């Protein structure tokens, strides 16, 4: 059961996800979380660095869809200026939003990666839907109410994985 929480990769931030490397691996689409993955959960707009990351992905022919459990207003406000497709109220970790994003991008599962900062939503959901998952370190150490609860569970799971030798990396937020 706990193997469903194990990401395929771990990187410090989305800026460590190289579009050239993705393309070389046959990746044509990224399904990414929004809050604490792309920007801090309380930042409404994309930073200049994030706008540049989206542009680089596009330049390499990689589609990016934002899948967030947040409400329509929040996700739309962030996504539309980037020209990014999005799914709001995604109900992650349920697999439906991930499958919907894949279908919207018209790609095969093996051509898509899922990126997010939470084991309990992004990694679990991406793994359950059959995608390659990449866990990033949360941008800030503060979270909304439900996410704070999830982080406590997440820390226990990560510590168990570390003790069992399933992971060797240490998150700076742990």
The pLDDT tens digits for 61-87 are: 999 999 999 999 999 999 999 999 999
Query: What is the total count of domains within the chain?
Result: 1
Six token digits for residue 126: 């991406």
Residue 11: predicted pLDDT: 92
Angle at 141 between CA 135 and CA 142, to 5 degrees: 115
Q: Which residue has the higher pLDDT, 128 or 153?
A: 128
Mean pLDDT of 20-38: 96
In a domain, 108, yes or no: yes
Higher pLDDT, 105 or 172: 105
Residue 130 domain-assigned (yes or no): yes
In a domain, 170, yes or no: no
Residue 7 lies in a domain: yes
In 3D space, the residue among 46, 17, 19 whose CA is nearest the CA of residue 34 turns out to be 46
Mean residue pLDDT of the chain comes to 89
Residue 115 lies in a domain: yes
Structure-token pair, residue 17: 């996800």
What is the structure's pLDDT at 147?
67
- Domain assignment of residue 32, given as a range: 2-163
Q: Does 172 reside within a domain?
A: no
Q: What is the pLDDT of residue 3?
A: 76
pLDDT given at position 154: 78
Percent of the chain whose predicted confidence (pLDDT) is above 70: 89
- Domain annotation covers residue 174: no
Cα angle for residues 165, 34, 155 (degrees, 5° grid): 30
Structure confidence by residue, pLDDT tens digits, 82-120: 999 999 999 999 999 999 999 999 999 999 999 999 898
Give the per-residue pLDDT at 4.
85
- Order of strands across the sheet with 29-32? 9-11, 132-136, 112-116, 29-32, 63-67, 85-87
pLDDT at residue 145 tops 80: no
Tens of pLDDT, residues 120-142 = 899 999 999 999 999 998 887 76
CATH number of the structural domain spanning residue 69? 3.40.50.1000
Close Cβ partners of 18 (under 8 Å, ≥ 6 residues apart): none
Helix %, strand %, coil % for the chain, to 5?
A: 45, 15, 40
* Domain assignment present for 109: yes
Higher pLDDT among residues 76 and 41, named by residue: 76
Phi, psi of 90, rounded to the nearest 5 degrees = -70, -20
């Amino acid at each position: 059961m706990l193997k469903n929480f194990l990401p395929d990769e771990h990187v410090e931030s989305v800026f460590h996800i190289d579009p050239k490397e993705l393309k070389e691996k046959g990746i044509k689409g990224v399904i990414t979380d929004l809050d604490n993955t792309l920007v801090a959960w309380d930042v409404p707009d994309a930073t200049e660095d994030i706008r540049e990351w989206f542009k680089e992905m596009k330049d390499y022919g990689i589609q990016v869809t934002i899948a967030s459990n947040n409400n329509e207003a929040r996700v739309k406000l962030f996504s539309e200026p980037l020209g990014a497709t999005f799914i709001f109220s995604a109900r992650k970790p349920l697999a439906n939003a991930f499958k919907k994003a894949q279908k919207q991008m018209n790609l095969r599962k093996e051509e898509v990666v899922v990126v997010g900062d939470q084991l309990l939503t992004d990694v679990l959901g991406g793994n359950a839907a059959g995608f390659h998952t990449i866990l990033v370190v949360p941008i800030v150490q503060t979270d909304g109410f439900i996410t704070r609860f999830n982080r406590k569970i997440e820390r226990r799971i990560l510590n168990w994985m570390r003790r069992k030798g399933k992971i060797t990396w240490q998150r700076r937020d742990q």
